[in-house]
Structure 1
Amino acid sequence: MNPKNEQEQVVLVTGAAGGIGAAIAELAVARGHRVMLTDVDEVAVVSRARSLGPRAAACMLDIRSSAGWTRAFEAAEAVFGGVDVLVNNAGITHTRVARDLPEQQHRDIVEVNLLGTITGVCTALERMTARGRGHIINVCSMTSFLPLPGYATYCASKFGLRAFHHSVAIEERDGPLDFTLIHPPSTRTGMLAQEMADPSCAIAFAEKSYAPQRIARAVVDAIATKPVEVVFPPLAGRVQRIAGVFPRLMRRVIPVAEARGLRQRERLLSHSDAHR
């Protein structure tokens, strides 16, 4: 099916005030879908939705809140009708090696990236199953395959999300819902700027970063094509997925990549300083 000719859907996107989520919402509207943008930053997400015209609306959602999820679905239903596609995109990270990260920040990462997404999926399961159709797209990470220094708890949350996603998809295999998992690599968002400030996670710069619009295209295409899982980049991502199976190989390869990332980070910082 040509994604540009896909049937119009009602799409609920989390973390849609900026970054990948905003790019997903913009492209989905351009493709003819109706989109409920949600974000913990109410002012920013309402402004973003207004910029997209009448096919977009917004509401505040802290994905850690079960009641918040109910309100978000009810808001989408009130404006556009029942939600056809849930795009779980919202996520956070706090950088630093695990021993230096405050306990609350470890908890924040797990509560948002894993437990918040679980809450959203469970809300969608109930409502979509009652309607007899629906598609859940979870935006995960390439770190769900390959643990990285500087990201220990973030990686753990994404490992857990991948396991949860596929377990639920198997449980619901005889039901009316579709499930897709998208694994972005390093992406040029505010999160990458946060990583630039911390040399402990310089491995983020070992490979080319992607524009949010590139990830958005994969997500919005998936509304029509319904792939089971998408990795980035298509070839190198598959290699990384295989490498993650072998701990001894990881412990040899990752320090090499980390050293490359440190060099590239220094070049980027020097380039930035030169243009100030």
Structure 2
Amino acid sequence: MGRRTEQEQVVLVTGAAAGIGAAIAELAVACGHRVMLTDIDEVAVVSRALSLGDRAAACVLDIRSSAGWARAFEAAEAAFGRVDVLVNNAGITHTGVARDLREQQHRDIVEVNLLGTITGVCTALERMTAQGHGHIINVCSMTAFLPLPGYATYCASKYGLRAFHHSVAIEERDGPLDFTIIHPPSTRTSMLEQEMADPSSAIAFAEKPYAPERIARAVVDAIAAKPVEVVFPPLGGRVQRIAGVFPGLMRLVLPIAEAKGLRRRERLMPRPGTGR
């Protein structure tokens, strides 16, 4: 299989057909890594992998499926011999306040964002421990610290993911694996387009969204640096992390941010007849 180096790792990325996952895959290949792209959209992820050349391959993966996870690892091992790094990036949201979402929409968010990622981590734990090395990178969210209106279940899934991630990292502290969790802010992806259509998600526009490539850079840099946790923006994210533990403060501050987001969203909405 050849000796591993920091310059060349085999990386399995979920949700890699578009958005942050696609940006991670593209940058990882450009940096000399080999990448197994996975996504629930088979046609899109195969097309994306083909565009990246022979250092990339693809397979379909519904992260809610334990059998699907086993097949994804087997596909990566067949193509590249091993998996050195797992990047859990796939996630979904349904916009709307909690009372307006259907029960199944609440379940969808939890089953993908939390339980699906848990299934992937548990699959990786067994396989990476057996091979004697591995690095699990969970792409979480700044909402893991902040209770945002319009994102109740999404926030809950990310709060849960952060707790799970750090708990597992502590459990495995004497083992051969490394753990990193990365918290993107609002990012310019199809999820943001979905949020644009729903005023209940206006708080997503309170600050200027990041480009997916900026998140990808943090993820790919983490492959070598192995930080414990990364927040965005570097300074403001630390302030938000602290502020999130004070719910009384959040009840005062977040309505102001939500109003700001509504104003910015209105400015960004396409004008009738202009297409922009």
TM-score (norm 1): 0.97
**What residue number does 2:57 align with?**
57
> Displacement, 1:6?
3.4
**What residue number does 1:117 align with?**
117
Query: AA paired with 1:227?
Result: P
Structure 1 stretches of 5 or more lacking a match? none
Q: Deviations over 1:154-194 (max 9, x none)?
A: 00000000000000000000000000000000000000000
Q: Deviations over 1:93-129 (max 9, x none)?
A: 0000000000000000000000000000000000000
Shift in alpha-carbon separation, 1:273–1:14, aligned structure 2, 3 A:
farther
Q: Secondary structure of 1:21's partner?
A: helix
**What residue number does 2:11 align with?**
11
- Higher mean alpha-carbon deviation, 261-270 vs 63-72, is at 261-270
**What residue number does 2:34 align with?**
34
Q: Secondary structure of 1:12's partner?
A: strand
1:140-155 correspondence runs (5 A)? 140-155=140-155
Query: AA paired with 1:208?
Result: K
CA distance in 2, matches of 1:238, 1:261: 21
Q: Secondary structure of 2:235's partner?
A: helix
> Displacement, 1:208?
1.1
Q: Secondary structure of 2:269's partner?
A: helix
Query: AA paired with 1:162?
Result: R
**What residue number does 2:207 align with?**
207
Q: Secondary structure of 1:35's partner?
A: strand
CA distance in 2, matches of 1:75, 1:216: 23
**What residue number does 1:101 align with?**
101
> Displacement, 1:7?
2.4
Q: Secondary structure of 1:95's partner?
A: coil
**What residue number does 1:126 align with?**
126
Query: Percent identity between the aligned chains?
Result: 86
Query: AA paired with 2:79?
Result: V
**What residue number does 1:242 align with?**
242
Shift in alpha-carbon separation, 1:73–1:188, aligned structure 2, 3 A:
same
CA distance in 2, matches of 1:74, 1:21: 20
**What residue number does 2:260 align with?**
260
CA distance in 1, matches of 2:270, 2:121: 43
Q: Secondary structure of 2:263's partner?
A: helix
Cα RMSD of the aligned pairs, angstroms, is 1.1
CA distance in 1, matches of 2:271, 2:84: 45
**What residue number does 2:188 align with?**
188
Q: Secondary structure of 1:254's partner?
A: helix
CA distance in 1, matches of 2:75, 2:217: 25
CA distance in 2, matches of 1:41, 1:202: 28
TM-score (norm 2): 0.97
CA distance in 1, matches of 2:195, 2:239: 24
> Displacement, 1:145?
0.1
Query: AA paired with 2:33?
Result: H
Q: Deviations over 1:42-83 (max 9, x none)?
A: 000000000000000000000000000000000000000110
> Displacement, 1:196?
0.2
> Displacement, 1:269?
1.0
Question: How many equivalent residue pairs?
Answer: 272
